């Protein structure tokens, strides 16, 4: 009967309002003999009620919990009163009372357990519904870290170590006349980071700056047989270590005592016949045995030939050779008798498949291509172009024959030298975030430096190049009168053919304040031009790779290029419909097409500036460093030396 009353009380209290819950709290305070367990439950319920006021769902849960607890308490109170009022009842009544008490105890326990379950559910609901408010600064920091993790490249596993000897005729900063010098400096630095041991061997020219000559350390010297009449020549070795790369200089004043690294073919043929052999002899002398000997251009073309003849049975005889074509136009061609004298090579290498060309001449570069284990060029497109008669420079058939070992890898640029964020040579350093505003400052500074009309709204076109036919300057020369208008300025920097030098001087006088012709080689000024102009012209007739367009993009300058060689591989033409691409291109070698490409760039700049700015940001975000190129070279080294 008491159990039935308890159930009725619980049912009545389930539909009670908030006031019932408050009464229950009052009754709890009035009850003097509550157990520790009930007190704990009451405190939890009261705390839950306070939290439950925040949301409707929690409020309802708290009501139900408090109601059930109150019902249990009232029943317990009635039980206690009944027991006290009838202490001397008959045994039958006592037994019945005990049975009722047992039932009531079970009901109370069930109510307590149900209350605990409801509390747990309410806590879970509160955790879901009431999300903690994050600190906005912390949230922003988390977002930045997450973005950085996404952008950070995954750490690549370390590849096996290899030793590489670079042999070439120039290397920045000691001596440089073109892109070869940049590659000989930057690629070894990048390979050092990829678990390679690199030694660079170049001639010790007299024209190397004295500040580097003073830091060279003498490593030794010896005499070497060279010519067919047995004449010996002195070979000195001077060493300079920088950024983890060892630079060894072959010293012989008779060959390298001139004021320029290159003079004329008559003098250069003996010079590089000597250098190629001396470089290999120096490796043996220093007891340094590389896994790969990486040769560059025709000046080191005889290295693979010497290695497979005179040095086959020496400690370096097991090394693999790779030769890189930086510019196929220059090959080191001279009559067979002269090269036979200066090299003393056996007669069997002078055949049509090796050194001989056109029956009477010997081609040093061709010999290197034949005897090397791998041939690389400085772009994929150029690797295909040189197998055609238009670009093959007389070696198209030979290169097609050796196409199985021909690869193309695009060059990169050194971010330690070419970085607008840290460049101290420009007026206002900048990054991708503030490039739009800072380029205007650099433009005004450049205009002031060159005596041009100072106006940040002008469309400024730059040209940084050797002034030769290869660079497409005949197109530029014919196009300048058409592109000059009140809204356009042109800046030219470079030296070369006197005809082009004089032509650009004429235009400077004709368009005073709008065109500046700097007929000079000025590395510091080139930095300021890259940072200050809006677009850079590279309309080359052929271009194995090209570094100017890579530097321009890294400085937020839009390239206008012809689709050839490395220019085609590195510059994606702008698509006005998809709003993608990072430059403007034209295909056939024609003045009208160059003029059209320039006009398309000007139209986007003046009429759709937002799209132009987006292209600038894309250019700066593009990775044009040596990282990817160095990885490809390392993969080739491992392919050649698979153990």
DSSP code string of 564-628? SHHHHHH-PBPBTTTTB-SBEEE-SS-HHHHHHHHHHHHHHHHH-HHHHHHHHHHHHHS--BSHH
The better pLDDT of the pair 152, 502 is held by 502
Question: Minimum mean pLDDT among 3-12, 382-391, 518-527: which range?
Answer: 3-12
User: How large is the average pLDDT for residues 554-580?
Assistant: 96
Do domains 162-408 and 435-628 share one topology? The answer is yes
Q: Which of 103-117, 299-313, 519-533 has the lowest mean pLDDT?
A: 103-117
| Beta-carbon-side half-sphere exposure of residue 206 (alpha carbons within 13 Å) | 10
**pLDDT score at 326:** 95
Q: Which residues 6+ apart lie within 8 Å of 168 measured at CB?
A: 180, 184, 200, 201, 202, 295, 296, 297, 299, 300
Say what the pLDDT of residue 141 is. Answer: 39
- Kindly write down the DSSP assignment for every residue of 31-74, as one continuous string: -SS--HHHHHHHHHHHHHHHHHTTSHHHHHHHHHHHHHHHHHHH
Name which residue leads in pLDDT, 6 or 196.
Answer: 196
pLDDT for res 178: 83
Mean pLDDT, to the nearest integer, of 245-251? Answer: 96
- Separation CA 609–CA 630 (nearest Å): 36
Q: What is the pLDDT of residue 642?
A: 83
pLDDT at 98 over 50: no
Q: What is the CATH number of domain 435-628?
A: 3.40.50.2000
Residue 154 or 196, more confident: 196
Whether 120 shows a pLDDT value over 60: the answer reads no
Q: Which two three-digit tokens encode residue 164?
A: 């590489």
Q: What is the 3-state secondary structure (H, E, C) of 546-562?
A: CCHHHHHHHCCCEEEEE
In sequence order, what are the residues at sequence separation of 6 or more whose Cβ sits closer than 8 angstroms to the Cβ of residue 544?
A: 179, 325, 326, 327, 328, 377, 378, 379, 382, 565, 566
Given pLDDT bands bounded at 50, 70 and 90, which one contains residue 262? very high
H or E element in which residue 25 lies: helix 18-30
CATH of domain 162-408: 3.40.50.2000
For position 307, what pLDDT does the model report? 97
**Higher pLDDT residue, 555 or 61?**
555
What is each CA distance from 611 to 530, 570, 616, in whole angstroms?
A: 20, 20, 9
SS3 317: coil
Flag whether pLDDT at 118 surpasses 70.
Answer: no
Residue 157: band (very low, low, confident or very high) from pLDDT cuts 50, 70, 90: low
Confidence label for 125 from pLDDT (cuts 50, 70 and 90): very low
- Return mean pLDDT, the chain: 82
Structure confidence at residue 99 (pLDDT): 47
Percent of the chain with pLDDT over 90: 73
What stretches of 426-497 show up as alpha helix (H) in DSSP? Answer: 435-450, 473-483
**pTM score, whole prediction:** 0.74
Residue 184 tokens, joined: 């000989």
Query: Using one digit for the tens of pLDDT, what is the confidence trace for 349-398?
Result: 999 999 999 899 999 999 999 999 999 999 999 999 999 999 999 999 99
Q: Which band of pLDDT confidence, cut at 50, 70 and 90, is reported for residue 542?
A: very high
Sorted by where each begins, the domain ranges of the chain are: 2-129, 162-408, 435-628
Q: How would residue 81 be classed by pLDDT, with cut points 50, 70 and 90?
A: very low
Question: Is the per-residue pLDDT at 236 higher than 90?
Answer: yes
pLDDT level of residue 243 (50, 70, 90 thresholds):
confident
- Summarize pLDDT for 141-151 with one digit per residue, the tens: 355 445 444 44
Residue 179: the pLDDT is 86
Please tell me the distance from the alpha carbon of residue 537 to that of residue 442, in angstroms, as a whole number.
19
| Least confident range of 48-62, 204-218, 275-289, 305-319 | 48-62
Poorest-confidence range of 49-53, 302-306, 418-422?
Answer: 49-53
Contact 51, 66 (CB under 8 A): no
Is residue 493 scored above 80 in pLDDT? yes
Mean pLDDT of 593-610: 97
Per-residue confidence (pLDDT) for residue 155, from 0 to 100: 54
**pLDDT at residue 114, rounded to an integer:** 52
Residue 324: is its pLDDT beyond 80? yes
Percent of the chain with pLDDT over 70: 75
For residue 102, name the pLDDT band (cuts at 50, 70, 90). very low
**Range with the poorest average pLDDT among 120-134, 276-290, 570-584:** 120-134
Residue 525 is predicted with a pLDDT of: 96
* pLDDT of 261 above 50: yes
Residue 11: partners with Cβ closer than 8 Å, 6 or more residues away: none
Q: Pick 377 or 90 by higher pLDDT.
A: 377
pLDDT of 275 strictly over 50 = yes
97-101, 458-462, 605-609: the lowest-pLDDT one: 97-101
User: Nearest Cα to 166, choosing from 196, 206, 209?
Assistant: 196
pLDDT digits (tens, 9 = 90+) for 396-448: 999 999 999 999 999 999 999 999 999 999 999 999 999 999 999 999 999 99
């Amino acid at each position: 009967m008491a159990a039935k009353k308890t159930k009725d009380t619980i049912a009545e209290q389930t539909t009670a309002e908030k006031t019932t819950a408050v009464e229950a709290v009052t009754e709890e305070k009035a009850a003097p003999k509550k157990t520790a367990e009930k007190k704990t439950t009451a405190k939890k319920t009261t705390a839950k009620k306070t939290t439950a006021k925040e949301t409707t769902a929690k409020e309802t849960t708290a009501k139900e919990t408090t109601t059930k607890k109150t019902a249990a308490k009232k029943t317990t109170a009635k039980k206690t009163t009944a027991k006290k009022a009838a202490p001397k009842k008959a045994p039958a009544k006592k037994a019945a009372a005990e049975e009722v008490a047992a039932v009531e105890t079970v009901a109370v326990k069930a109510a307590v357990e149900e209350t605990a379950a409801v509390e747990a559910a309410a806590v879970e609901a509160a955790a879901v519904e009431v999300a903690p408010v994050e600190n906005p600064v912390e949230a922003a920091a988390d977002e930045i870290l997450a973005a950085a993790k996404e952008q950070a490249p995954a750490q690549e596993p370390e590849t096996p170590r290899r030793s590489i000897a670079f042999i070439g005729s120039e290397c920045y900063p000691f001596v440089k006349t073109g892109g070869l010098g940049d590659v000989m400096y930057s690629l070894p630095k990048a390979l050092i980071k990829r678990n390679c041991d690199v030694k660079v061997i170049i001639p010790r020219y007299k024209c190397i700056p004295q500040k580097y000559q003073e830091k060279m350390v003498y490593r030794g010297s010896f005499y070497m047989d060279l010519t067919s009449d047995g004449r010996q020549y002195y070979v000195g070795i001077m060493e300079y270590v920088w950024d983890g790369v060892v630079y060894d200089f072959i010293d012989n004043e008779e060959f390298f005592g001139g004021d320029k690294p290159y003079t004329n073919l008559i003098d250069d043929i003996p010079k590089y016949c000597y250098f190629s052999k001396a470089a290999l002899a120096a490796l043996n002398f220093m007891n340094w045995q590389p896994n790969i000997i990486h040769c560059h251009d025709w000046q080191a073309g005889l290295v693979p030939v010497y290695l497979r003849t005179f040095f086959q049975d020496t400690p370096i005889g097991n090394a693999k050779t790779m030769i890189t074509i930086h510019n196929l136009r220059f090959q080191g061609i001279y009559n067979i008798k002269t090269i036979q004298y200066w090299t003393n090579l056996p007669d069997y290498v002078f055949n049509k498949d090796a050194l001989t060309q056109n029956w009477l001449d010997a081609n040093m570069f061709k010999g290197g291509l034949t005897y090397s284990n791998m041939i690389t060029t400085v772009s994929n497109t150029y690797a295909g172009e040189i197998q055609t008669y238009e670009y093959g420079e007389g070696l198209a058939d030979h290169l097609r024959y050796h196409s199985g070992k021909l690869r193309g890898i695009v060059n990169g640029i050194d971010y330690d030298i070419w970085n607008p964020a840290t460049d101290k040579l420009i007026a206002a350093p900048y990054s991708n975030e503030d490039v739009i505003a800072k380029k205007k400052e650099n433009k005004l500074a450049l205009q002031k430096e060159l005596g041009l009309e100072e106006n940040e709204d002008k469309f400024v076109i730059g040209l940084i190049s050797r002034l030769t036919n290869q660079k497409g300057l005949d197109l530029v020369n014919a196009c300048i009168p058409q592109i000059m208008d009140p809204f356009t300025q042109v800046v030219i920097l470079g030296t070369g053919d006197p005809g082009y030098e004089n032509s650009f001087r004429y235009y400077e006088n004709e368009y005073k304040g709008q065109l500046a012709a700097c007929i000079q080689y000025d590395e510091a000024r080139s930095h300021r031009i890259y940072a200050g102009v809006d677009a850079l012209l590279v309309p080359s007739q052929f271009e194995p790779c090209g570094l100017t367009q890579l530097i321009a993009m890294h400085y937020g300058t839009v390239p206008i290029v012809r689709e050839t060689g490395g220019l085609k591989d590195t510059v994606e033409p702008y698509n006005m419909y998809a709003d993608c691409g990072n430059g403007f291109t034209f295909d056939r070698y024609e003045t009208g097409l160059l003029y059209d490409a320039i006009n398309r760039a000007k139209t986007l700049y003046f009429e759709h500036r937002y799209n132009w700015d987006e292209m600038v940001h894309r250019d700066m975000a593009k990775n044009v460093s040596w990282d990817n190129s160095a990885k490809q070279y390392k993969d080739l080294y491992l392919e050649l030396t698979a153990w």
